[in-house]
A and B are shown apart, each in its own frame.
Chain A
Amino acid sequence: MISVRNILVEQTERTRHSSKADIHRFIEESELKIASLESQISPLRDREHSCVDAPQRITSHIHSLVELRDHERSCVDALRHIISPIRTLPVELLAEIFRLTLDDPKTHIAEAYRISQICSDWRNVACGNPQLWTGPICVDLGSEKIFGREDLYADGLEAWLARSAPLSVPVSLQLELDRTNSDPRILEIVLRVAPRFRSLRCRGVPLSFISRLAECKLDSLEELDLGFVESDSNAAEFPALTMVPRLRKSSIIIEASRPHALIPWAQLTDLTLHCDSIDVILDILVQCANLTSTALYTSEWYVYPATAQFTRPPLPLNHLHTLTVGFGRSKHMARFLGTVSAPALEALNLNFFGTGMHSVAPLTAFLMQSPTIARLEIYGDYAPTSHELIEVLRHTVHLTHLKLTQFHKHSFDDALLNALSCKDGVAPLVPKLHSLAMYRIMQKGGFTMEALEHMLVSRWRADPETSSGLHAVARWSHVELCWSLRGPFFDNLQRQGLPIELMY
């Protein structure tokens, strides 16, 4: 049996002081030898096949010649390997290219293994670089990957996680209550690397697991997405995650009537919170003094009744620059906007998916306290009427980006388009607006194409220096229209030079 590794070592030693030209000469010599051996083997094989009882001597002679030939072939391979251009790459650069190869979270595991099975040099480079093994790991205890081969999976996972030490890793956990009990080893392996979690995304985890997690030192954890936490009988009332010094971003679903995980809210800068109670949301926000971005939702189905009579003190979120709200009850929206202020807000996303607002007065009052909003997104069937929107937009004079999605005829009509249009001597709404996106806007019975075209073209043609008297009007930098507006209308706008495109 030929040992490729030994031959490689031999040839490396042999060529230690040789030039590239020398090595090319060695290859040529070996190839001549191989050709010579082939020419000897071929007639011997003919003789072997033509004799019914081939003499043992011929067979063993062929065997020894074939061994010599294969050895020589291996020498040629080794010599080619020695002078191959890829060997000019320094190890650090090879490792960097490997790292770039592993940037796809869907394929990074297969890619890492592929790289490490090319040759022992590459394997040493790969295994010697923990960073190559720090891609996101998803452990789904309900998956087919695990079922029936738990030990194999556990061994593989353990070995994989060990290679990334001491670096932090993003981990995603999908648990099922019954599997959590039946298959503890995998969970133990995951929990052992808890101090190295960079991010943790949980789905279907029971509260007892959060309690165990709370006992770990989660020193590297920066992002925590708990999803919906299932109650189980072993659970402590409110497990508190206290040993998370780096945690800044979190997402959690809370049911007001059930125990939930406690997070050090004060250190968060980014929070996504789904909760059936607006009071719980406000209670949590009171503790979130450092938030810069938050998304808050209540359900459109069952919601915990708000304590409407309870008057809260004003809640200023002074660092907040991005706010997304989607509330299932109009009272929640009014309650929230009437309590919270965000003086540094730059981006506001309003979802009216399940309910609208009885009055936009709380919204306009909120906007008056947030004078620097530049980006506004409004989504939903229950968006305010066009006249209300005009009123709202009057309070966003610094708006540069506007995105409207899923609007019906009561919200998007010619009145709104007219207010947005540029007319001589009159400042249009939101004069700094230069980016507009419109998706799934219902045309029937609402706006006319003429009004839309006039609005778009008037702001495109406006002279920023002289038009509109009081305010300079920005020209469009980007306009996205819904696919249904394709055709001559769109083509005409394009011909006029508008930076416009269609989106599905």
Chain B
Amino acid sequence: MVLLVTSDNEQFQTEKDIVERSVLIKNMLEDVGESDQPIPLPNVSSSVLKKVTQPSTGPTEIDVRGRYLSTASTTVESPSRPPILEQSQDETRKRTTDISEWDQKFITVDQEMLFEIILAANYLDIKSLLCRRWLQDGSQHDQGARPPEEIRKLFNIVNDFTPEEEAQIKKENEWAEDR
């Protein structure tokens, strides 16, 4: 077991094979060797660390891709392992093929936590938790793309292009479009 101390001074006893998915912690453990000394994580709060290291059990737990599962998603099995253990993209794909519907509100409701987790994942160096798929359509098709307008709406991003710039941007895309 490894003892982790979060930014708000909470202590977590966590299994070594779980925390070693973090390249940062793995390197620390290798440098320090076998030791009872706690590992300080000054950039990770206890609430975020819980999400990253503990098995998903409740309806608001984060899934392998950083999404929150809906209470209504009855066809979705809660991940049996903590998201930190989910490394393989193939595995992730397999897992998502059975998913019929994601909660449309997962980002709007819990965005602050989502981005805290992304920041923590970056700090801890856990690539699998850098959830790129929030740029993609979570509702129906795994590979579907969210339209720009939807991305703006989800993240409160203001479209600050002038109409001329928008037209120019649209035009630069045309060469690659199928007809």
Given contacts A116-B169, A156-B175, A156-B176, contact A81 B145 (CB under 8 A): no
A86 to B177, CA, bound (A): 29
Using an 8 Å CB-CB cutoff, how does the interface string of A99-121 with B read, 1 for contact, 0 for none? 01100100101110111111110
Chain A residues within 8 Å of B160, by CB: 4-5, 8, 119-120
Q: Which residues of chain A from 77 to 133 have a CB within 8 Å of any chain B CB?
A: 77-78, 80-81, 83-86, 88-89, 93, 96-98, 100-101, 104, 107, 109-111, 113-120, 122-123
Selected contact of B173 from candidates A86, A88, A113, CB within 8 Å: A113
Q: Which residues of chain B from 115 to 154 have a CB within 8 Å of any chain A CB?
A: 115-116, 118-119, 122, 127, 130-133, 135-136, 143, 145, 148, 151-152
Selected contact of A84 from candidates B133, B136, B155, B161, CB within 8 Å: B155
Contact A89 B119, beta carbon cutoff 8 Å: yes
The main secondary structure of chain A at its interface with chain B is helix
Chain B residues within 8 Å of A160, by CB: 175-176
Which residue on chain B has the smallest CB distance to residue A104?
A: B143
Contact B114 A85, beta carbon cutoff 8 Å: yes
Given contacts A4-B160, A84-B155, contact A113 B119 (CB under 8 A): no
Chain B residues within 8 Å of A8, by CB: 158, 160
Chain B residues within 8 Å of A145, by CB: 175-179
Is A157's beta carbon under 8 Å from chain B? yes
**Minimum distance in angstroms from B56 CB to a CB of chain A:** 21
Is A68's beta carbon under 8 Å from chain B? no
Given contacts A85-B114, A114-B145, A117-B170, contact A153 B156 (CB under 8 A): no
Selected contact of A119 from candidates B157, B174, B177, CB within 8 Å: B157
Q: Which residues of chain A from 157 to 182 have a CB within 8 Å of any chain B CB?
A: 157, 159-160
A119 to B131, CA, bound (A): 20
Chain B residues within 8 Å of A156, by CB: 172-176
Given contacts A80-B156, A113-B176, contact A97 B118 (CB under 8 A): yes
Is B111's beta carbon under 8 Å from chain A? yes
Selected contact of B148 from candidates A83, A93, A107, A117, CB within 8 Å: A117
Contact B157 A81, beta carbon cutoff 8 Å: yes
Is B91's beta carbon under 8 Å from chain A? no
Chain B residues within 8 Å of A110, by CB: 145, 173, 176-177
Which residue on chain A has the smallest CB distance to residue B114?
A: A85
Is B162's beta carbon under 8 Å from chain A? yes
Chain B residues within 8 Å of A119, by CB: 152, 157-161
Contact A100 B161, beta carbon cutoff 8 Å: no
Chain A residues within 8 Å of B122, by CB: 93, 96
Interface size, chain B (Cβ < 8 Å): 40
Contact A85 B152, beta carbon cutoff 8 Å: no
Contact A88 B115, beta carbon cutoff 8 Å: yes
Selected contact of A86 from candidates B133, B155, B175, CB within 8 Å: B155
Chain B residues within 8 Å of A74, by CB: 158
Is B166's beta carbon under 8 Å from chain A? yes
Contact A118 B148, beta carbon cutoff 8 Å: yes
A153 to B132, CA, bound (A): 29
A193 to B74, CA, bound (A): 52
A369 to B36, CA, bound (A): 54
Chain A residues within 8 Å of B176, by CB: 109-110, 113, 145, 156, 160
Contact A100 B130, beta carbon cutoff 8 Å: yes
A122 to B161, CA, bound (A): 11
Is B90's beta carbon under 8 Å from chain A? no
**Minimum distance in angstroms from A162 CB to a CB of chain B:** 11
**Minimum distance in angstroms from A153 CB to a CB of chain B:** 5
Chain A residues within 8 Å of B135, by CB: 97, 101, 111, 114-115
Selected contact of B156 from candidates A81, A107, A113, CB within 8 Å: A81
Contact B115 A89, beta carbon cutoff 8 Å: yes
**Minimum distance in angstroms from B120 CB to a CB of chain A:** 11
**Minimum distance in angstroms from B174 CB to a CB of chain A:** 6
**Minimum distance in angstroms from A169 CB to a CB of chain B:** 14
Chain B residues within 8 Å of A152, by CB: 174-175
Chain A residues within 8 Å of B98, by CB: none
**Minimum distance in angstroms from B114 CB to a CB of chain A:** 7
A120 to B166, CA, bound (A): 10
Q: Which residues of chain A from 341 to 370 have a CB within 8 Å of any chain B CB?
A: none
**Minimum distance in angstroms from A128 CB to a CB of chain B:** 16
A154 to B176, CA, bound (A): 10
Contact B115 A117, beta carbon cutoff 8 Å: no
Is A13's beta carbon under 8 Å from chain B? no
A250 to B6, CA, bound (A): 52
A145 to B145, CA, bound (A): 21
A107 to B161, CA, bound (A): 24
Selected contact of B111 from candidates A78, A85, A98, A116, CB within 8 Å: A85
Which residue on chain A has the smallest CB distance to residue B154?
A: A86
Contact A93 B162, beta carbon cutoff 8 Å: no
Is B112's beta carbon under 8 Å from chain A? yes
Contact A97 B130, beta carbon cutoff 8 Å: yes
Of listed B133, B151, B169, B176, residue having the most chain A CB within 10 A: B176
Contact A5 B157, beta carbon cutoff 8 Å: no
Contact B175 A153, beta carbon cutoff 8 Å: yes
Q: List 5 additional A-B contacts (Cβ < 8 Å) besides A80-B156, A157-B175.
A: A8-B158, A74-B158, A81-B158, A84-B157, A156-B174
Interface residues of A (CB under 8 A from B): 3-5, 8, 74, 77-78, 80-81, 83-86, 88-89, 93, 96-98, 100-101, 104, 107, 109-111, 113-120, 122-123, 144-145, 152-157, 159-160
A-B contact pairs, 6 of them (CB 8 A): A81-B156, A97-B131, A110-B177, A111-B145, A114-B148, A145-B179
